[in-house]
Each structure stands twice: as structure tokens, then as C-alpha cells.
Chain A
Amino acid sequence: MNAANFVTSMPIVAVAVHDVVTLLPIIALIVSAVVVMLAGTFHTSHRLTVGLTLAGLFWTVAMIPIAQIRHDHQVTALLLLDDWALFFIGLLALTTAGVVLISYGYLARREEHPHDYYTLLLLATLGAAVLVASTHFASFFLGLEILSVSLYTLIAYPRLRADFIEAAVKYLVLAAATAAFLLFGMALVYAELGTMSLSALAAAHVTGGGAAETSLLVGGLALIIVGIGFKLGVVPFHMWTPDIYQGAPAPVTAFVATVSKGAMVALLLRYFRQVSLSPHGTVWLLFAVIAAASMIAGNLLALLQSNVKRLLAYSSIAHLGYILVAFLAVGRSAAVAVSFYLVAYFLTTLGAFGIVSELSGPEADADDIDDYRGLAARRPLLSATFALLLFSLAGIPLTAGFLGKFLVVATGANSRLWWLLVVLVASSTVGLYYYTRIVVAMYVQRPQDAPTTSRLLRVEAVVGSRAGGSVLVVVVGLVLFLGIYPAPLLRLLGHIVANLP
């Protein structure tokens, strides 16, 4: 009896030992989350907690080359850690490291117990990493929920202000309801196909052009698109974005805008490549409409905003629309364009919210455009940085944002998506106006009378801004570097995409 058990259990154990190597980046994230949580119980200093968190994230990145050594990247039916997934896990971990650094000064100014914040940040990154690597409904759903549940708590973490609580409650209700949509859609698809593998879903869509597209499959897909669209924050599922961006603490907003959205884009692209072989199908058309609506609505509504965080929220809706245009294009260059655009978008968004966090005083976030009037006279370096990042978001040449947009337009032109490109160019021209508005406020306008300054951090009261400043220096360097000399990153991305199935 014992011997029989041993024989049957043996292959499972053998597989698991090999898989541990492949899973190392994810294991590293789990271990560092536990370490940071335990360290927080011993009344450690804020500085040590931040150091441990950063060490955990860099350890995760260091594990990626080791995970690449093995040729079998599939771990059980749930996870696939190929080059594509590993690249994005690295990108997510490094972005989180940036968020950690801009959180340091922000939390040091207003929070007495900041330790659990970093545990939650690591767990949210873990969720995003699982999401990127998932190949199965179960891992997709688990990754998404680890990410979401951590985010609810992160948004409300500085408990003192009603805005944070309002944003967290809104996010919780909407995210949980859309998670239910996603799950119900998955259940319908499973009832129809008898498998929960994501590639089977994509394959079923490709083959099922006509008769095989049953109502169960279509209904299930529609519900899954609701869930995904919510996470991406694209029109018509964008309603939460401005409120959460405005209400959440600035570093958490940076995290929501980059890691949480980027993980979903990376996952979606892997499977969309299989679907988009049949262009102009139902799903293709649906995504084209979503992309166009996001570009138009995002850019037009941003014009009306006087709150910088809200403005960036609408601009991120438009940016997701640009990314979807490249989704709809065919071929390798489309995947390269999307991933390059994502890198540029991560850098600029992280930098922009980093600046908002740097300027925020203990009472409120510096998010009103009045706070930025005449900023160039008081904080010249910070203003120059912000101006550069806004130009990159607008797509001015010599910045990473320009090259990203250029690549998107080029792939769109290759696939003859003319009307989408017209919308893209027209709406980003509108975008130029509101980005410039902030720059004008910083450089041309005079500061208003004294009252608004209580929201702003006084220059002499800067705590821990060296950490945030270092992030900004790196971000600015990379935005310029990628804008002027993108060849190394493009070569890397081309290599990664070539290995995609």
C-alpha cells in the first residue's frame, strides 16, 4: 500500500522540484511579502521596511534569468512563465520599486504605522505577476483577486481622510461586482467548452466564426470582456477611473495606473494575438469601438478637468485606447509596439504621480491645478521634470512617449486601420492642449494668493524626498534615453515577441 502510494506520488514530486526553478520570481515575491510583514511586527523603522521591500523586489528581478534557464516554461496547467511573462514580471517589479520609493516620503509625512502598506504593495505585485503568467481561468481569477483585494486596502490605507475611504468603497463595490461578471462569463464559457484553459478559449473563438459561436460562448465572452474592460478602465467601463485616481493616495494611484492596468494588457495581448488572426470578427469590432470611444472620451473629458489627478485619469483612459489600436493590428510588430508603449507609459505615469506625491503636504494631495501655478519659480527642477513627462505623455519627439505613439501608428498603418488612426491623431492633438495647460500654469502664470499653499508641501519641510527624487532622476533619464536611442529595448522586445507562440 505504502509502496503504491510512493510510486504514484513520485512523478508529482519530481515535476514540482523542477517547477520551483521556473516559479522562482513568484516565490521570491511571496517570501519577501512574508518577510516584510514579519519585520513590521518588530517595531522596525520605516527605513528598514522600505529597504526590505526593495531588496525583495530586486531579488525577484534577479531570479528572472534563473527562471529562464529551464526550457519548459509551463508550470502545471495554471502558469506559463515564458520570456513574455518574465519580461513583464520584471517590469512590474521594477515599477513597484519606484512606487515604494515615492511612497516613502509620502507616508513618512503622514502615517505612523506604514509597515503593512509595503506588505500589501508586494502582495498586489504578486497578484499582477500571477495574472501576467496565467493560462487558466483559475490562475487568472486568483491573480486578479490578489491584486484587487490588496488594492482596496491600499487605497484606504491612510485612514484619516474621507476621500480615501470614499475611493476605496467605490473601487471595492465596482471591482467586486465586475469580478462577478467575469466569473459568470467564465462559468458560461466552461459550460460550453468543457475546459478552462485560456488558449482553448482563444482557439474556440478563431475557429468558431459562424455556427460554432453559440449563445453561451458569446454571452460568456461578453461578460468576460466587461471584467477585463473594467480593469483596463476603457470606455464604457471607465467610470471608476477619475474617482479612484483622485481619491486614492498619489503613490497608490501610480500603482493602479501602471501595474494593475499593465498586467491586464500583457495578459490580454498574449491571447489577442491568436484572436486577431480573424480580423473584423465580432470581438475585433467590439474592441475597435472600445478603442475609439476611449480615445475620444478620454481626451475630451480631460479638457474639462481642473484637478491634475483627474486629468491624468482621463488621459490614461485615452492612452489605453491608443494601446488597443495596436492590439487590433496584426503581426509581430504590433506586440512590440504595445510592449514598448507600455514601458513608456509606465515610466511617465510613475514619474507624473511621483511629482504629485512629492508636492503633497500632510493634509491633502497637491492635485489642484492652482497648486501648480508659478511652480517653476519655487521648484525649478521639479517643474522641468514634470514638463518633460507631460510632453512624453503628449507624444512630443525626443521622448519615449513619442516613439511609443509612433510605433503604434506605424503598426496601425501596416494593418490599414485608417479610421482608428484618424481618431488617434485627432484626439491626441486635443490631448496636447490640456498637457500644455499644466506646463503653462507652472511656467507662465503667477501663483495665486496665499490660501492654497496649505495643501502644498513647503520646500523646507521636505522629508524623505531624496528617495522620490532618485526615482524621478531615473525616470527622466530613461524617458530621454528611450526617446533618443530605443534600439536596445526594441531589439529585446523583438526577441521576446519572436518566442511567443
Chain B
Amino acid sequence: MAHVPFEYGLYLAAALFLIGLVGVLVRRNLIFVLASIEIMLNAAGLGFVVAGSRWGQPDGQVMFIFILSMAAAEVAVGLALALLYRRAFGSLDIDEASRMRG
């Protein structure tokens, strides 16, 4: 099996993280913002798996499972809030949420 340097894995994770971050900043639809956050979290999870494989430890994968379950909890709350948001503001555009200023 060809050996892949661990840096490549981190580059991939960083690229995914940036894609997610750009999504959070650019997207205006709440659902897509939540999906972009999911990409960021999974990028961090990939980073942990890569780091774990560098040291030959299972800890990185354990952290990945933690991140996965936390992201599931977060998205469950997020989607419930999206429903309430739709009802309160009549759309999922997050720019609507700008009633408070100062």
C-alpha cells in the first residue's frame, strides 16, 4: 500500500473547512448555512482521523464519533429552529434576522 504523507490529509481537511466557512459566510438560506457548518465540523473530524493515524492511536477516530454525534444533536435543534424561523419570518433568508441593531 502506498504511503500517503499525513500532511496531505490535513490539506484536504483544511480545504473542506474553508469550503464550509465560505458557505457559512456566503449562503443566505438557513438550511444551506447549517449544511455548511456540517461540512466544517466534518472537516475537523477528518483532521482528527488523520492526526490519529499519524500517531497510530485510535483517539482521533473516537473524537470523530463524538463530533458526529454532536453534529447530529446540533442539526436536530437547528432544523427545529428553522421551522420556527420560517413561521416567524415567512422565509428562510437569514438576512431577515436583523431586527436587533446597535
Provide the residues of chain B in CB contact with A167, threshold 8 Å: 100
Assuming the A-B contacts A166-B99, A184-B43, are A194 and B54 also in contact, with contact meaning beta carbons closer than 8 angstroms in the complex? yes
Quick check: A183 and B44 within 8 Å, CB to CB?
Answer: yes
Assuming the A-B contacts A243-B100, A304-B102, are A173 and B47 also in contact, with contact meaning beta carbons closer than 8 angstroms in the complex? no
Quick check: A169 and B97 within 8 Å, CB to CB?
Answer: yes
Interface residues of B in 64-95 (CB under 8 A from A): 66-67, 70, 73-74, 77-78, 81-82, 84-85, 88-89, 94
Provide the residues of chain B in CB contact with A305, threshold 8 Å: 102
- CA A304 – CA B85 in complex, angstroms? 29
Provide the residues of chain B in CB contact with A181, threshold 8 Å: 40
- CA A493 – CA B55 in complex, angstroms? 40
CB distance from B78 to the nearest CB of A (A): 6
Quick check: B77 and A149 within 8 Å, CB to CB?
Answer: yes
Assuming the A-B contacts A183-B41, A184-B13, A190-B51, are A137 and B81 also in contact, with contact meaning beta carbons closer than 8 angstroms in the complex? no
Provide the residues of chain A in CB contact with B70, threshold 8 Å: 141-142, 145, 149, 179
Quick check: A138 and B62 within 8 Å, CB to CB?
Answer: yes
Provide the residues of chain B in CB contact with A191, threshold 8 Å: 6, 10, 47, 50-51, 54
Quick check: B44 and A184 within 8 Å, CB to CB?
Answer: yes
Assuming the A-B contacts A159-B84, A169-B94, A191-B51, are A176 and B78 also in contact, with contact meaning beta carbons closer than 8 angstroms in the complex? yes
Provide the residues of chain B in CB contact with A84, threshold 8 Å: none
- CA A172 – CA B20 in complex, angstroms? 15
Provide the residues of chain B in CB contact with A255, threshold 8 Å: none
Provide the residues of chain A in CB contact with B45, threshold 8 Å: 183
CB distance from B71 to the nearest CB of A (A): 8
Contact partner of A180 among B20, B50, B54, B62, CB < 8 A? B20
- Residue-by-residue, is A127-164 near B (CB-CB < 8 Å gives 1, otherwise 0)? 00000000001100110010001001100100100110
Which of the listed residues A194, A216, A242, A247 has the most CB atoms from chain B within 10 Å of its own CB?
A: A194
- CA A188 – CA B51 in complex, angstroms? 7
CB distance from B100 to the nearest CB of A (A): 5
Quick check: B55 and A180 within 8 Å, CB to CB?
Answer: no
Quick check: B55 and A194 within 8 Å, CB to CB?
Answer: yes
CB distance from B48 to the nearest CB of A (A): 5
Quick check: B63 and A137 within 8 Å, CB to CB?
Answer: yes
CB distance from A468 to the nearest CB of B (A): 25
DSSP class of B's interface residues: helix, strand, loop or mixed?
A: helix
A-B interface pairs (CB < 8 A), number? 133
Provide the residues of chain A in CB contact with B89, threshold 8 Å: 162, 165-166
Provide the residues of chain A in CB contact with B67, threshold 8 Å: 141, 183
Quick check: A190 and B60 within 8 Å, CB to CB?
Answer: yes
- CA A276 – CA B10 in complex, angstroms? 30
Cβ of A307 under 8 Å from chain B: yes
CB distance from A191 to the nearest CB of B (A): 4
Provide the residues of chain B in CB contact with A190, threshold 8 Å: 48, 51-52, 55, 59-60, 63
Cβ of A61 under 8 Å from chain B: no
CB distance from A458 to the nearest CB of B (A): 26
Provide the residues of chain B in CB contact with A162, threshold 8 Å: 88-89, 99
Provide the residues of chain B in CB contact with A168, threshold 8 Å: 81
Quick check: B84 and A165 within 8 Å, CB to CB?
Answer: yes
Assuming the A-B contacts A177-B40, A304-B102, are A138 and B63 also in contact, with contact meaning beta carbons closer than 8 angstroms in the complex? yes
Contact partner of A187 among B34, B48, B55, B62, CB < 8 A? B48
Cβ of A246 under 8 Å from chain B: yes
Quick check: A145 and B100 within 8 Å, CB to CB?
Answer: no
Assuming the A-B contacts A166-B99, A187-B51, A243-B100, are A180 and B66 also in contact, with contact meaning beta carbons closer than 8 angstroms in the complex? no
Quick check: B10 and A173 within 8 Å, CB to CB?
Answer: no
Assuming the A-B contacts A138-B63, A166-B100, A304-B102, are A156 and B44 also in contact, with contact meaning beta carbons closer than 8 angstroms in the complex? no
- CA A163 – CA B96 in complex, angstroms? 12
Interface residues of B in 4-23 (CB under 8 A from A): 6, 10, 13-14, 17, 20-21
Assuming the A-B contacts A187-B48, A310-B102, are A149 and B74 also in contact, with contact meaning beta carbons closer than 8 angstroms in the complex? yes
Which of the listed residues A138, A166, A184, A188 has the most CB atoms from chain B within 10 Å of its own CB?
A: A184
Assuming the A-B contacts A162-B99, A194-B55, A196-B59, are A180 and B40 also in contact, with contact meaning beta carbons closer than 8 angstroms in the complex? yes
Name the residue on B nearest A174 (C-beta): B24
Quick check: A180 and B81 within 8 Å, CB to CB?
Answer: no
Quick check: A172 and B84 within 8 Å, CB to CB?
Answer: no
Quick check: B99 and A169 within 8 Å, CB to CB?
Answer: no
A142-B66, A179-B41 provided; 16 other pairs, C-beta below 8 A?
A145-B73, A145-B74, A149-B70, A162-B88, A169-B94, A172-B77, A173-B34, A180-B37, A180-B40, A183-B44, A183-B47, A184-B13, A187-B44, A187-B48, A188-B47, A188-B51
* 6 shortest interchain CB distances as A-B pairs: A187-B47, A191-B51, A183-B44, A180-B40, A184-B44, A194-B55
